[in-house]
Amino acid sequence: MTKIILFLTTIILTTKCCDKTPNDRRTSNASKTQDTTFSKTILQKINPVNQADYKTNKYAGIYVYGPIKGSGRIGEITIYPESDTTILFYIYLDKGAPSNHEGSLYGETKVIDGVSEFYTRVDNTENGCRWAFNFVDKKLTLTTMNDEGNCGFGYAVYSDGIYKRKSSKIPAYFNDMTKTKVYFKNTKPSDYNSE
């Protein structure tokens, strides 16, 4: 008897569930559309623009200067497109033998038509650190401006030069001088530099 009651209850529920009028179906489809729209809105707030669409993607990658480590002055700049107009960059420099003085800096700068001016003040230096970035073809020319080269680097370490693009892949992170992996998306320069 119990099995018959369970069987009939199942049939009644199944019939009730599947017996929808055209209006019910429209409501159901509208509900699905609303759910999809809501999901898209949430995703747009989390990731408003697809990084693949950033205008600054064309500057992304790793740029290098000089020969191999240990045989002279070298530099490496890692560029990450933060938005349509801004990039994050990490620069590592080494003066070379015999002293191998080093320097590094993590910053953010606005790029317009391949040109940017970056400024920061490091450790209360008098002049600060001001650079011009100039992206042309697969090269980045970095120039110190107005004798403002106090960037917190070691003795005789400077950034000026023409850096050739080694990779155009958008980097997710850089390894700093302590070999710590720092993710661009999670770490703003202001947070990193305040540590």
The C-alpha atoms of residue 51 and residue 117 are separated, in whole angstroms, by: 23
pTM higher than 0.85:
no
Q: Give the residue extent of every domain in the chain.
A: 2-46, 53-193
pLDDT at residue 27 in the model: 43
Judged against a pLDDT cut of 90, whether residue 180 lies above it is answered with yes
pLDDT tens digits along 89-115: 999 999 887 888 999 999 999 999 999
The C-alpha atoms of residue 72 and residue 117 are separated, in whole angstroms, by: 27
Judged against a pLDDT cut of 90, whether residue 7 lies above it is answered with no
pLDDT tens digits along 49-86: 567 789 999 999 999 998 766 568 899 999 999 999 99
SS (H, E, C) 78-120: EEEECCCCEEEEEEEEECCCCCCCEEEEEEEEECECCEEEEEE
In degrees and rounded to multiples of 5, residue 85 shows phi and psi of: -120, -10
